[in-house]
Amino acid sequence: MNAPQCPSCKAPLAKMPQRKTKCKACGEFIFIKDTPRNRTKRLMTPTQAEAAERAWEDHQAKKMQREAAALYKQHLSRLTADLKKYASQGWRSVQVFGESARTCPVCRSLMGRVLPVTIPAEEILRPDCQSLDEGSYHCAPLASPAIKDGSGSVRFDRSI
Ligand SMILES: [Zn+2]
Ligand SMILES: [Zn+2]
């Protein structure tokens, strides 16, 4: 490895800094960071360090979105199978449920709705669900043929 130098003014450093330090020659802070693309910790100027932090945030956000998309696909296939099963059993309607504190506004607006069992699963697990791009939401709407009214009584809408 080359002799360490200040990334801002290129002044040689007595030793490789182990943590954030100030350059004695130019007074700039020297940061030690890596980036998602290059995991070797290296010396950075304040501007480079800021860019590295943004790159990490971006990296994390993208990772979360990929995970959310995979989860959505899983839920969608499960819900599609459920709806198909309910339809084959003769249920005509289902009610959306599964609200939690982390349910997004899109999904929240569907909670409690009674829908025909033949509806595409995407009408319940919507592609515009905000949990797909925002980690603070977590949605998993489900559908049940047991339809509850406000008073807590349950009815079933069955054709056969
Ligand atoms: Zn310097
Ligand atoms: Zn949602």
Q: How many angstroms is it from 73 CA to the middle of ligand 1?
A: 51
Ligand 2 centroid–CA 16 distance in Å is: 48
d(CA 51, CA 37): 12
Summarised one tens digit per residue, pLDDT across range 41-61 is 999 999 999 999 999 999 999
Q: Which ligand is nearest to the CA of 5?
A: 1
Q: In whole angstroms, give the CA distance from residue 12 to residue 14.
A: 7
| pLDDT mean across residues, the chain | 93
Classify residue 102 by its DSSP letter.
T
Taking only the tens place, the pLDDT of each residue in 58-88 is: 999 999 889 989 989 999 999 999 999 999 9
How many angstroms is it from 133 CA to the middle of ligand 2? 10
- pLDDT band at 1, cuts 50/70/90? low
**Domain segments of the chain: what residues?**
56-155
pLDDT higher than 60, residue 140: yes
pTM above 0.95, yes or no: no
Which of 149, 147, 143 has the alpha carbon at shortest distance from 86? Answer: 143
**Buried (b) or exposed (e) across 12-34, using 16+ Cβ within 10 A?**
ebeeebeeeeebeeeebbbbebe
Distance 58 CA to ligand 1 centre (A): 29
